[in-house]
Every structure is written in structure tokens, then in C-alpha cells.
Chains A and B, each alone.
Chain A
Amino acid sequence: MVTTVKEGWELVVGLEVHVELVTTTKMWCGCLTHFGEEPNTNICPVCTGQPGSLPVVNGAAVRAAALIGLAINCSVNETSQFHRKNYFYPDLVKNYQISQYDVPICSEGHLELEVEGSPVTVGIERLHMEEDTGKSTHLGGSGRLHGADTSLIDYNRAGVPLMEVVSHPDIHDAETAQAYVRELQGIVETLGVSDARMDQGSMRVDANVSVRRPGEPLGIRTEIKNLNSVRSLGRAIAYEAQRQIEVLEDGGEIVMQTRHWDESTGRTETLRVKETVTDYRYFPDPDLVPVHCPADWVDEIRAELPELPAAARARLTDAGVDEAQAAALVGTSGMLAAFDEAVATGADPRTVANWLVGDVAGQLSTAEVDFADSGITGAHVGQLVALVDDGTLSNNLAKQVVEHLVADRGSRSPAVVAQEEGLQQVSDTDELQAIVDRVVADNPDTVATIRDGNTKAIGALVGQVMKETRGQADPRATNELLRAAITP
């Protein structure tokens, strides 16, 4: 079940997602987009807005935008235009941002999501291209521009290509918002056009949140910023919905404003109140000609679309993987590729899914390591499954192998781990027979009980054998040998 807002209220959420593209060069010039360089090293007359400089559209960014658009079921407009969005801010080099306005590159699409087992469709209004701003650092005062002693500006990020995907206000619970963002993340990652890291700012999500009585027109919305993870997004929406409901139930009014999510307090706080709608004086940028995306070019791009998350999930469930596991495999960076690699070694899809989504993901989560950084490959998982299948490892031992894989970041294969850590199953009958005989001899009372008909007591003896072999005994073989030894 998704979390609902208080009875008698409906939550309405629309999301604006900014995605920084991983093109080699910036949107309008040849400067590199590298993240983390010394300040003001990847700059030139164009991206610092020197008088007389002119922008030229980066074709790779247009292509990436069209790819994302097609992947989210938008139409790619044959002609689109860049507009100037005029406002003053020190990190905005031209004091206007080149963006798209009434004719974006892509319009009207949707995402089909699975939320808590139910299908949900979220409409997408548009996808448009724009440029990123520079990055300000304010010294002294509150750490914001206002009241700072000195402000430093790094223009390395100025002019980095951005896409903005704007959803319709079709979202009515926090889980759907989270699923939407995860799906978008999965799509851009699959397309290889962005890192889509919310924690690093390469994906930035703003949530427009309002509440209303069902059937009534849309309520006044607030815009929530500073959402650094999908989890924060969910928490912030839930918090903000509750806050708005309380204000309204107390007879108050919601004020149109931008609110800042504070992860540590779990609250949203007023960042700025929008008393009037900012007049950005959009007009067509006379420095740029319209962008043409002819139908045959769009068809070419469409043909190059890789398997998208929704299709991948369908393929997995067709192979017998259950829906939740399919969602996890597709939704975890790098896991689908590992799954496919493991299955290609001949392993059973359901077993591979169980290991990846179960123990591997679980232990990585405990260790706070992302699968993509874990060093664990599909070949590892395929081998693990094979070792279980041929009896070299029991399930228990296999779990211990996974612990080692996680601990040493996949630097040794499961076979090597099993060998070097002495985790192979003891299924050598002679060795096991000797231990069984000793256990039977050492536990005459238990043996007697079993012989009296209490067959369940054999479990205690199996436990003893396991203890003696430090868990490496093959449980099935142990059982058989014990029965044979006890049966008079």
C-alpha cells in the first residue's frame, strides 16, 4: 500500500527533473564538462559570456535530448527553438539563461510505472534543453548570497548541457514520485547520457506539491528544492503534504513559495516567497537558429534505443523472475547486466535473481556499497550458482562466499574464495562417515530416542555433524549417513 495523506484530502505532485548530460563538451562551446577540476579552468569567452561571443548548439546534446524524449514516449518536434530566460544572478554569465519555451525539443510523453504492485501512468508535459549556471560559493554571513562578505564564482559548470523533464501534476503519493524518479534515472543511465546522481547534482529534482479536497480545483502549490536522494524526495513530499493540510485545516492559506528541504530536521523551510510571478521576458534567442529534427533522423535515433527498463522488467518476468525482483534488478545500477551475464553462463534466471536481489544486495546494503562499485560481476554470480548446483557449496556456505565477495570487492572469484577460505562442502563420504560414526557413538541417548520413533531428534545429530565440520557437511548426505548408522 502506498502511504496516503489524511482522509478527505488529495495530494497533487508535479516533478521537474533536471538532468546534466555527460557530453564531452559544453552546450555552446568546446570547453570540457569534466566535474571536479580546479575552479575556472574549463572556461572560454563563450561560457563566461564575454562581450561579442556567440553560442553554437552542441549536436551531441540535441541527440541525447531526443534519445531521452523517445525513451519517455515523447514526440520529438521537427522544429524547436531556443529562448532567452532573462533574470539577473551573479553566476548566470549573460544574465539570461538560454532555454526552451513554447517549442521544446520534445512534448507529451508518459512513464508507465509499477508502484507497490500496481501499474501507474504519469504524464510528461515536455522535455527541453538548457544550459547550467556557474557555481557560487559565499564566504561569511549565512553562506548564502545575501549577507555574504565575499562571493566566489566557478564558471566550470556554466554552459554544461541540461535537460529538464516536466511531468504533469499526475502524481498523488510519495511512492509514485519516487518510482517516477527512479524510472527516469534508470532510463538516462541505460541510455548512457547522464550519471543521474542526485547526491552529486547531476540529477536535480524539484517537487511542486499541493493538496486539495477531492474534486476541487488544484490548490496553491509550493516548490521544494534541495532533494538529494529519492528517499528525501519521498520524505519531503510526505512532510509538505502534511504541513499544508495542517495549515488549511487551521483555516490558514498556502503561500506560493519555494521551500528548502532540510534532510537533518526532516522539514521543509521557506526559501523565498513568490509574491509575484517572476517575469522572465522570454523571447526567441536571435543568436541561435531553430533546431531541426527531421523525421528520418528521429527514426534513426529511435532505432538505436537500447532495451529500456520497462521492457527489461517484462523480459525478466517472462523468464520467471518475480516482479519485485525484476524491478530491483532493473532499478539497481549495473545489476541487469550482471544478471544477463550470469544467466549466459547457464545459471537458472530465478536462482540468479534470488542471489542478486537477496544476499548480494542485502549484504551490500549493510556494507553501504553500491552494486555498481562492488566489483561483483555476473560471472561471479554464475559461478556461485554453479558451485551450489554441483554440491560444492551449500546455501549456507554460498552466503559466506558472498560475504567475502562483498568484503573484498569481488577481487577473488567464488571458487577461489571457497577454496582459500576452506568453505567447500564436505561431501567426501569416507570423511563424513567417520564423523557420523563418532557422533552416533558419542550420543547414545539421542540415538535411542530416535530408535524409539522420535525421528525429529535426528536434527540434533545433524547439528552435531555440522558443528564438527564447521558447517561444511553436505546436509543431504549427512542425513542419509545418520539414518543408515542409526537404523539397526
Chain B
Amino acid sequence: MTSDLLTDTAAGLAARMAAREVSAREVVDAHLDRIEATDGDGTSDTDVHAFLTVVADTARRHADDVDQRRVTGRDLGPLAGVPLALKDLFTMRGAPTTVGSRILEGWVPPYDATVTEKLRAADVIVLGKTNMDEFAMGSSTENSAYGPTRNPWDLGRVPGGSSGGSAAAVAALQAPLSLGTDTGGSIRQPAALCGLVGSKPTYGAVSRYGMVAFASSLDQAGPFARSVTDAALLQSVIQGHDPRDSTSIDPVRVGRDLPDLLADLDAGVEGLTIGVVTELQGEGYEPGVLAAFEDSLRRFEALGATVVEASIPHASYGLPAYYLVAPSEASSNLARFDGVRYGLRVDAPTAEEMNAATRGAGFGPEVRRRIMIGTHALSSGYYDAFYNQASRVRRLIANDFATAFEQVDVLVSPTSPSVAFPLGDKTDDPLAMYLNDVATVPASLAGVPAVSVPNGRGAEGLPTGLQVMGPLLGDDRCFRVARALEADLGLDPVPSGANAVAPA
């Protein structure tokens, strides 16, 4: 019974709870037990260490409340009672939010993120806050100030990042759903490395209010799940216009509703034109990754889609542009962590010295590196060559996507150039780490939606992912194409292998 609760999908659990076959409390308890059994505190090399904070009592109370309301026959949402792991970057009252950093140690936010409010309104039960690369800067979760998270498929490897904790929690069966954030690939890449579905919605589809900012013009919240349907269900819960976020899409203003992610989910790919991005394959991609990708393309054709070559001509400039725009915004966004109002304060004789001491002690090396890069890129005399030039590249890439979508319905590429790599493999080489994002940053820069879906096994039998990119507000189309591949492949999302997390 218990293992069955852990491996079931969110949709499956929701249906069983609605039919009163199982209570929300039982579902929540099973997952809390699983966390207890597998997560540890990161000190052992068998600890998944997906969570930084577990809010067991709050979760149980919420579950009891859902059960009670169900008894009274109240109409509950489609995910009511389903547990979820929340990246430790969304504010939630009553629990610390650290963003994986020492600088926010001890900070309990005085308000809820819009996403947190929407989860509560939908009666999705938050189990806790998950580990991440500090301030979402990283691709392996090794930049967390609280120790790395391990990949449930191979505990000696990274889960990807920056939302590695959220990905690992779902892969390790600690939660059927989780939320991450994606700035340059921070949902899609860990989804691929952990054998999960992960979605970065159209920029502006999900409110950023209450998400601690890394790069405001790129940050988007999105779901992790073990099925495309679950991911679409969760994204349906969190998307929507928010008057507290000026960059959130207002259907009234754009004259168009946010997409219905479920209506055509199972419509298949017959008749669709799928564009293969020429620039996002080949050199730099592992053979196993490319083999899985080729296999996916053959499956799409067999399912009735037309597969064509497509080009994002400026895609190769995506990575350098991204690594200027994102640090520039970060250098300003992270200025507020100065020891004056919240979090860490290292006392010193003057305000200026206190700021410097606090920031020096509170930020890890990768965060400091990006603040310095960003500060430099925005400096007088360098602004045009760096920040401005990168912004121009960004516009070109957005135009490339718009042009491509005149010919094709979706674009596809491998999500990550490699499968999960061993812990410590790239920590001394920031550039090697940045290359993990090569396939994911173009969609981020263009603001278009992209879903990563498991598409096979690469080296060492580790999961690989396929990225489906759609036009602005074409999130539904991405899910539909991902769902077709998922159904055709029939992969088991439960980790297996010699070094995998213990079975449920």
C-alpha cells in the first residue's frame, strides 16, 4: 500500500482521494516517512538531501483539514491533498527561506509568494522547502551553502540544478510533485538528469511575486512531475495573471487567455511539424544523448508528425549573452542583501564595513563571481560592449524563434548535452558547468515555453531528456508533444540501477 502511494502519479493519488480510497493524511504521512527514510541531512553519501526544511506538522494539519472538508462534501480542486516539494526560493510564511544561501540564514518571510497562495488555495500540500544552488546560480546543486543534493538514479552523481532538490524529491518518490524555477535551464536540465518531466512556462505566465529574484527578466516558476499530465495539472494551478507582478501576462491586455494545458493534452502529434534545431545538437553532446534524441525523432515521425530541420541562427550566442544578462540583473537584485534589514549580519564598525563583511561572509564563490561579472558588465564604459550587446543578441534570438515558428509547430533539441555527472566533476571549472545550459538558454532568452520530457537512457543507463519548445503562450503544444513521446516510450520513472536510492 505505502509503496503504491509513493509511485502513483499526482493525478492517480487525487482520484483515489476523491473516491475516498485513501485520505490526504495517509498520502502525506507516506511521503513524510519516505523523506525520513531517504533524505538525511546530507552528511552521508546515501542521503538524497533534497530538503532544507520539512514542515511535517503544517503538512499533516493541512492534510487533515482537506480530509475533513472532503467529508463535508465540499468541492475540492483537482490536486487537493497531493503533496508537493517547494524550492527554497518561494516565500512561505512560517518557515525559513534560504535560497540556498548563508546570507538569508534565519530569515522567515513575512509574506507568501503568489505561487504559495495558489498552492494553498488548490489544497496542494507543501511538505517542505528544497535544496538548490545558491540564488539559483548553478547546474548541479553543488553551489548550495547547505551541501549538495544527490541524484536518486545514482547517489554519486548530481541531480542537475539549480532546482536539484525539487527534482531529486520527485525522482526519489518523496513527493509526486515539486516546483522549481528556471532562469537558464534550472528546471529542464535537472528534469532531464533525474528522468522527470519539467516545464518552464512562457515568461509571465506564472507570477514571480514572492520568488527571490536571480535574473528578473528570465526567472520563471514551473513544475516537476513523473508524468506529463501531472506537470500540466500543476502548471494549470500556478499560472495566471497577478496584479502584483507587472511582468505577468494580463489576458485582457494581450487579448488572449493563458493556454488550457489539459484540453488537447492527449491529441497526439499527427499532422504537427516538429523542427529540429540544427544549432542545438552535434558537437559537445554525448553519444548516448544524441542516440536517444535520434530515437525520439523517429518515434515522432512514426506517430505521424513531420520532422524538419529548423534554425535558430543566433543560438550559439545564447550562452555568452545569457551569462551577461543574468549576472547583470543579479548584481543589482542581490544588492539588497546588506545585513541592514534581514538575514545574516556580520557586525563591523561602520555601515559600509558591515555591508562588506556581511556580503563577504554570506555569499558563496559562484554568487560572488556572478555579482562581479554583472557589476562589470553594467559599468560605465563597458555597458555597451557587454550588457547592451547581450540585450541585442537576446532580441535577435527572440526574432529567430518567432521566424522559426512561422514554419514549425514546435522546436526540439536534447535538453542537456550529458547525463548526470559525478559530484565534484565540474566544480573547479565554471565554464564547463555553464556549458550544461547550452541547449536551454535560448528559450529562456526568448521567453518562450519549453518542456523537458524523459526520452531514454544514456551512458550508465542514466536518464536523458528531450526539450520541446513552443511559441509564446504555446505551453499547451509543448505538453501535447511531450505527452505523445511519453506515451510512446512508456519509460518507468522510478529510479533503478546499482547506485540508485532505496526502492519504496
Residues of A at under 8 Å CB distance from B?
A: 45, 48-57, 84, 86, 88, 90, 93-96, 145-146, 151, 153, 277, 279, 281-283, 286-289
* A57: chain B residues within 8 A (beta carbon): 246
Q: A95-B335, A283-B332 are in contact. Are A52 and B213 (CB under 8 A)?
A: yes
Quick one: closest A residue to B210, CB to CB? A52
Contact of A281 among B351, B355, B380 (CB under 8 A): B380
B246→A55 contact, CB < 8 A = yes
Contact of A51 among B107, B215, B340, B378 (CB under 8 A): B107
Within 8 A of A (CB), among B328-357: 328-329, 331-332, 335-338, 340-342, 350-352, 355
The 8 A CB mask of B227-260 against A (1 = contact, 0 = none) is 0000000000000000111110000000000000
A88→B352 contact, CB < 8 A = yes
Dominant secondary structure at the A interface: loop
Q: Which of A52, A53, A90, A94 has the most CB of B within 10 A?
A: A52
A288→B378 contact, CB < 8 A = no
B387 CB-CB contact with A under 8 Å? yes
Chain B proximity of A284: nearest CB distance (Å): 8
Contact of A50 among B109, B331, B350, B352 (CB under 8 A): B109
Q: How far is the CA of A277 from the CA of B381 in the complex (A)?
A: 13
A51→B379 contact, CB < 8 A = no
* B340: chain A residues within 8 A (beta carbon): 90, 153
B383 CB-CB contact with A under 8 Å? yes
Chain B proximity of A146: nearest CB distance (Å): 7
A88→B210 contact, CB < 8 A = no
Q: A51-B99, A54-B208 are in contact. Are A279 and B379 (CB under 8 A)?
A: yes
Contact of B216 among A49, A51, A282, A287 (CB under 8 A): A287
B245→A51 contact, CB < 8 A = no
B336→A94 contact, CB < 8 A = yes
A48→B341 contact, CB < 8 A = yes
Q: How far is the CA of A55 from the CA of B337 in the complex (A)?
A: 17
* A279: chain B residues within 8 A (beta carbon): 379-380
Q: A57-B246, A289-B247 are in contact. Are A49 and B332 (CB under 8 A)?
A: no
Q: How far is the CA of A260 from the CA of B89 in the complex (A)?
A: 44
B335→A94 contact, CB < 8 A = yes
A281→B247 contact, CB < 8 A = no
What count of chain B residues pass the 8 Å CB interface test? 46
* A48: chain B residues within 8 A (beta carbon): 341
B91 CB-CB contact with A under 8 Å? yes
A281→B378 contact, CB < 8 A = yes
* B405: chain A residues within 8 A (beta carbon): none
Interchain residue pairs A-B with the least CB separation, the first 8 = A95-B335, A286-B217, A286-B216, A281-B378, A51-B212, A52-B210, A94-B336, A45-B111
* B490: chain A residues within 8 A (beta carbon): none
B336→A283 contact, CB < 8 A = no
B5 CB-CB contact with A under 8 Å? no
* B351: chain A residues within 8 A (beta carbon): 90, 145, 151
* B355: chain A residues within 8 A (beta carbon): 88
The 8 A CB mask of B460-503 against A (1 = contact, 0 = none) is 00000000000000000000000000000000000000000000
B401 CB-CB contact with A under 8 Å? no
Q: A49-B336, A281-B380, A283-B328 are in contact. Are A56 and B246 (CB under 8 A)?
A: yes
Chain A proximity of B103: nearest CB distance (Å): 10
10 cross-chain CB contacts under 8 A? A51-B104, A51-B336, A52-B90, A53-B210, A279-B380, A281-B331, A283-B328, A286-B215, A287-B216, A287-B246
The 8 A CB mask of B201-218 against A (1 = contact, 0 = none) is 000000011111101110
B23 CB-CB contact with A under 8 Å? no
Chain B proximity of A432: nearest CB distance (Å): 77
* A96: chain B residues within 8 A (beta carbon): 332, 335
B246→A289 contact, CB < 8 A = yes
Q: How far is the CA of A91 from the CA of B370 in the complex (A)?
A: 25
Chain A proximity of B372: nearest CB distance (Å): 13
Q: A88-B335, A283-B332 are in contact. Are A49 and B378 (CB under 8 A)?
A: no
Chain B proximity of A101: nearest CB distance (Å): 11
B436 CB-CB contact with A under 8 Å? no
* B337: chain A residues within 8 A (beta carbon): 51
Contact of B109 among A52, A151, A286, A289 (CB under 8 A): A52
Contact of A54 among B209, B215, B331, B336 (CB under 8 A): B209
